[in-house]
Amino acid sequence: MATRLTYTAANLAGTQGLGAFGLELEEDGGLVAGARMTVGYGRRDIESVAVRVPLSQALNYADRIDFLASPAYNCALSSAFEELLDLEVPERAHYIRLILLELNRINSHLQFYVNLARVLGQQPLMNHCLRERERFSDILEMYCGSRLGFGAISVGGVVSDATDGWFFRIEKAISALRDFLPELDEMLLSHPFFVERTGGLAVVTLEMAEAWNLLGPNARASGAAEQDDRTFRPYGAYRELTLPEIANNAGGDVLARSAIRSSEILQSARLIEYAVRRIPAGNFRIRVGMEVSPAKGFAACSVEGPRGAITVLAESGGGNCPANVRFFAPSVMAVQLLPRLLKGIQAEDAFLVIHSLDISFSEVDK
């Protein structure tokens, strides 16, 4: 006889409360017989709030859609507003934006391994991942005063210039990270128990990834190599730099989705080093006042966030507040696959499968 088990986003995060996501599993003989999702518990209605304030203030809401991808959301909305204003961002600002986006990608992927290690009961590894993540949180705090990157990117550029001291801290953090990645591989990704448990688990084929419009690392782990806006539709300083290749199998299972994020961390580290060496001198921001009013029109911009392409549609009605703002989030695509992926697996592997997709529930329930 089937038994019903109820989980929420708060349960998945190891905290108390209902959260923004509900998941009801039907268990039959230790296997998941069915899964049903519910979202909407914590709806913040950010898109409606963003149209009631001037352009520059709307960014304060965009970066709170997903606290692990706040620079990416800021960059996407800023780019849309800059297109409406026909504003040319300084080249130095583009390079600083790239560095911030890649620092944020490393930070987010390290948090992915923190969650994964916690689900697996690997407390020492979880602490090691947290230690590495703290270094990059310190770097973001050194730049903008916030450990999550809130307010790092503004309309017309970035909030402050990059300094030699900041670059030195980045260099030290990347050096320590390179020493840690072989440890992560040995303790988790290449460990025989992890490989045996996750290999072939919750497979997303290339056909499924394309049919469900899966984005980011989840799609790339299934072989959809073109699903990366940094190369597919390059923007900013990405037009000047070549994206380093990553080593990853295209198995589409939990193992592949876990391994690709380690490869992307190293890829981001190389990109940051390239950008630091080539960053041009000059202005880092064109200041935009609160009363600036773009002409009527639409603008759509896409930025590759830690979980995939973040697309923003912005509309101007001729006033200093946007007439319409819409965010298209990658986690929305991934969460739709959950009921299909969970059905038939062992119930004890449900959390592992959920975490392998790296779903941001605040992003789903924006």
The string of pLDDT tens digits covering residues 65-124 is 998 999 999 999 999 999 999 999 999 999 999 999 999 999 999 999 999 999 999 999
CATH, range 1-43+331-366: 3.30.390
Angle between the N-to-C axes of helices 164-184 and 91-119, in degrees from 0 to 180, rounded to the nearest 10: 30
CA–CA dist 210, 215 (Å, integer)? 9
Question: What does the buried/exposed string (b/e) look like for 158-173 if buried means 16 or more CB atoms within 10 Å of the residue's CB?
Answer: bbeebeeebbebbeeb
Q: Supply the DSSP string of 238-299, one letter for each residue.
A: GGTSPPPP-------SHHHHHHHHHHHHHHHHHHHHHHHHHPPPS--B----TT--PPSEEE
CA–CA dist 32, 30 (Å, integer)? 7
Residue 31 CA, distance from chain mean position: 31
> In this prediction, what percent of the chain has a pLDDT beyond 70?
93
The string of pLDDT tens digits covering residues 150-162 is 889 999 999 999 9
Radius of gyration of the chain (CA): 20
Q: Regarding predicted confidence, which is higher, 177 or 250?
A: 177
Instruction: Please tell me the predicted confidence (pLDDT) of residue 6.
Output: 55
pLDDT of residue 14 exceeding 70, the answer is no
The string of pLDDT tens digits covering residues 303-313 is 999 999 999 99
> CATH 1.10.645.10 spans which residues of the chain?
44-328
Instruction: Please tell me the predicted confidence (pLDDT) of residue 5.
Output: 54
Of 3-7, 53-57, 308-312, the range with the highest mean pLDDT is 308-312
Task: Report whether 354 contacts 116 (CB < 8 A).
Answer: no
Q: Under CATH, domain 44-328 is a member of which superfamily? A: Cytochrome-c3 Hydrogenase, chain B (1.10.645.10)
> CATH 3.30.390 spans which residues of the chain?
1-43+331-366
Instruction: Please tell me the predicted confidence (pLDDT) of residue 1.
Output: 41
CA–CA dist 131, 110 (Å, integer)? 10
Instruction: Please tell me the predicted confidence (pLDDT) of residue 15.
Output: 45
